Chains A and B, each alone.
Chain A
Amino acid sequence: MMPLLFLHGVSLTFGGLSVIDNLDIQVRKGSRCGLIGPNGAGKTTIFNLLSGVYRVTAGQILLDDEPIDDVPLDRRIHLGIGRTFQNLRLMKQLTVLQNIMLGQHHLVGPWTRILAPLATPWNRCWREEAIDVADTLGLREDIHRLAQGLPYGVQKRIEVARALVGRPRLLLLDEPAAGLNSNERNELATVLATSLPSETTVLIVEHDTDFVRSLCDHAVALNFGQKIAEGDPASVCRHPLVIEAYLGKDEPTYHDLPTPAASHEPAFRRNDNAA
């Protein structure tokens, strides 16, 4: 199947610091792709490149075979790229419903935006759609509450609802399960598995490999801005380079070291390869 998203030789540098280095990723239409890797691997940076927060230094990003590098931040959503944020970016002074309705902004006509009050019949279909999505994500009871002060798990779900209501072709979920307890995590995995439209392509950044395995049919592992493994989630999670990236190399044990008598060298010395 054709890739919806194609990152072709993408690099990003901040001054002399290379954050993403010559990265190639293809994401098929309608697939659920997990992006895993330790902290600092460049996962969220890729989301920021896709949503237009950063511009690539080299390479090209293609969405449905169209380059999107020059599309500004506020036009990316018109291409069908919706996202959530690792660090919650809800509008704290808006209610849950208003936050979700903000996700429809690009779908609504300019005159409706300016002239039609949200509570009037002109906005009824948009409001009902937002309430339906809120309902699906278990937010029905909270829709008239201010986003500020709601439990973290609820705020995470509001972010997902806000992204979903924009009917994205490519949905970027940035650590949706981070900070949730195991019950909330399982609940969210179930909700995402059942409520995401099948035609929506999903890219998920997540540290929880069980969460990735339960949702994704494909996974890409990154470390220091480079791809280290790709394939089905289970095999990627077992890949030696992925294990090494998360856990580091094995340190030699006391018994692995040569005895002083045999080698005439000190028994304990600094291991230069240690991370």
Chain B
Amino acid sequence: MSGYASQIAAILIVNIVAAYSAYMPLACGQLNLGIAGFMAIGAYTSAVLSNHGFALEVSILCGACASTIAGFAVSLPVLRARGIYLTIATLAFSEVVAAVLLNLHVVGAASGFVVADHMSVVPMFVTMLIVLAVVGWLSSTRFGLCMTAVRNDGRGAAVFGVKVRRVEVAALTIGAGFAGVAGALYAHHFNYLEAQHFNVLLSTYALLYALLGGLQTPFGPLIGAVVFTLVPEILRSTDQWRYVGFGICIILLMLLRPEGLLTKRLIHELRFRRRPA
């Protein structure tokens, strides 16, 4: 694999995992703009531990655990807010994390932080598969059912005994854990961290991948991340016009498939077309 292809593959893997960190709360109807903050926590925790001699796998796992704990701690107060207020609260959290890291000299502050251990694309791909398996498994259980029910009609779901707040907290926490994994993968592949990288644009892109891919199936964010990571690369030859092309793609998609690229109805239709009654 060429250097360019491996870099694109690494970015794609990080984007896919980040898309799933956005997908989990979105599956419950929560718009989380704090993904960059959770990614930063995972990235810096993993980087610091690996620089102190911990094994790569242990460092990544600890990074994921740190962002999961942060996700749980943040979700309790933040999920008291609803709608746009929740989004603003998560965005504020992300900005606080970035500001703290920017001023924390132990991790290089504004100069950035060099990460010793390198991770190649293959183990990154395996990690991504594990994340996909966890999401697929969770979605196929009653927990997945509850997430969709909470998104469709939270109050209606509560009538059937679903603890809406618990489901929301769990989804945001698991999503934060995935963001930590994405951050740790990024840290160990590119071997250099900058607090400025973990900005609101990173969270926005993660949300975009999940939303445009579709929230109705666990494969939506995968499709969204693949398409919207590769489209700008394919359009790279058009120089600055690629941003215009990318924007047009998003607008067209929102017009033609407002529920995302992959919907349950599409899968249902494909299945019935294959097996005519």
Do B149 and A78 touch across chains, with their CB atoms under 8 A apart? no
**One of B142, B148, B164, B268 near A108 (C-beta < 8 A):** B142
Which residues of chain A come closer than 8 Å to B236, judged between CB atoms?
none
Do B161 and A105 touch across chains, with their CB atoms under 8 A apart? yes
**One of A77, A92, A117 near B140 (C-beta < 8 A):** A117
Chain B interface size band reads 20 to 34
Do A117 and B149 touch across chains, with their CB atoms under 8 A apart? no
B241 within 8 A of A: no
Do A146 and B157 touch across chains, with their CB atoms under 8 A apart? no
CB contact list, B135-182 vs A, under 8 A: 137, 140-143, 145-146, 148-149, 151-153, 155-164
Distance in angstroms between the alpha carbons of A117 and B141 in the assembled complex: 4
Distance in angstroms between the alpha carbons of A116 and B139 in the assembled complex: 10
Which residues of chain B come closer than 8 Å to A148, judged between CB atoms?
265
Which residues of chain B come closer than 8 Å to A78, judged between CB atoms?
161
**One of B140, B151, B160, B162 near A118 (C-beta < 8 A):** B140
Distance in angstroms between the alpha carbons of A103 and B151 in the assembled complex: 17
Do A77 and B159 touch across chains, with their CB atoms under 8 A apart? yes
**One of B145, B152, B155, B160 near A92 (C-beta < 8 A):** B152
Do A113 and B142 touch across chains, with their CB atoms under 8 A apart? yes
Residue of A nearest to B259 (CB): A93
Name the distance in Å between B176's Cβ and chain A's nearest Cβ: 18
Do B161 and A114 touch across chains, with their CB atoms under 8 A apart? no
Do B142 and A118 touch across chains, with their CB atoms under 8 A apart? yes
Per-position contact with B for A34-64: 1 when CB-CB < 8 Å, else 0? 0000000000000000011100000000000
How many residue pairs link A and B with beta carbons under 8 A? The number is: 87
Which of A92, A102, A114, A116 neighbours the largest number of chain B CB atoms within 10 Å of its CB?
A102
Distance in angstroms between the alpha carbons of A145 and B268 in the assembled complex: 8
Distance in angstroms between the alpha carbons of A275 and B156 in the assembled complex: 36
Distance in angstroms between the alpha carbons of A77 and B162 in the assembled complex: 10
Which residues of chain A come closer than 8 Å to B145, judged between CB atoms?
94, 98, 101-102, 105, 118
B105 within 8 A of A: no
Which residues of chain B come closer than 8 Å to A74, judged between CB atoms?
158-159, 161-164
A91 within 8 A of B: yes
Known: A94-B145, A113-B141, A116-B141. A146 touches B264 (CB 8 A): yes
Distance in angstroms between the alpha carbons of A92 and B265 in the assembled complex: 11
Do B143 and A83 touch across chains, with their CB atoms under 8 A apart? no
Name the distance in Å between A255's Cβ and chain B's nearest Cβ: 54
Distance in angstroms between the alpha carbons of A73 and B161 in the assembled complex: 8
B216 within 8 A of A: yes
Do A114 and B141 touch across chains, with their CB atoms under 8 A apart? yes
Which residues of chain B come closer than 8 Å to A75, judged between CB atoms?
161
Per-position contact with A for B248-277: 1 when CB-CB < 8 Å, else 0? 000000000000000011001000000000
Distance in angstroms between the alpha carbons of A103 and B161 in the assembled complex: 8
Distance in angstroms between the alpha carbons of A53 and B151 in the assembled complex: 18
Which residues of chain A come closer than 8 Å to B160, judged between CB atoms?
77, 102-103, 105-106, 162, 166
Distance in angstroms between the alpha carbons of A103 and B143 in the assembled complex: 14
Which residues of chain A come closer than 8 Å to B148, judged between CB atoms?
91, 93-94, 98
Do A91 and B141 touch across chains, with their CB atoms under 8 A apart? no
Which residues of chain A come closer than 8 Å to B163, judged between CB atoms?
74
A115 within 8 A of B: yes
Which of A85, A91, A115 neighbours the largest number of chain B CB atoms within 10 Å of its CB?
A91
CB contact list, B99-155 vs A, under 8 A: 137, 140-143, 145-146, 148-149, 151-153, 155
Which residues of chain B come closer than 8 Å to A238, judged between CB atoms?
none
Known: A73-B158, A78-B161. A94 touches B149 (CB 8 A): yes
A247 within 8 A of B: no
A89 within 8 A of B: yes
Do B264 and A114 touch across chains, with their CB atoms under 8 A apart? no
If A94-B149, A102-B146 are given as contacts, then 8 extra A-B residue pairs at C-beta distance below 8 Å, sorted by A number, are: A74-B162, A75-B161, A83-B159, A89-B159, A91-B149, A94-B152, A101-B145, A145-B268
User: 11 A-B residue contacts at CB 8 Å?
Assistant: A73-B159, A83-B159, A91-B148, A91-B157, A102-B162, A113-B141, A113-B146, A114-B141, A114-B142, A145-B268, A162-B160
Closest 5 CB pairs of A and B: A106-B161, A117-B140, A89-B156, A113-B142, A91-B152
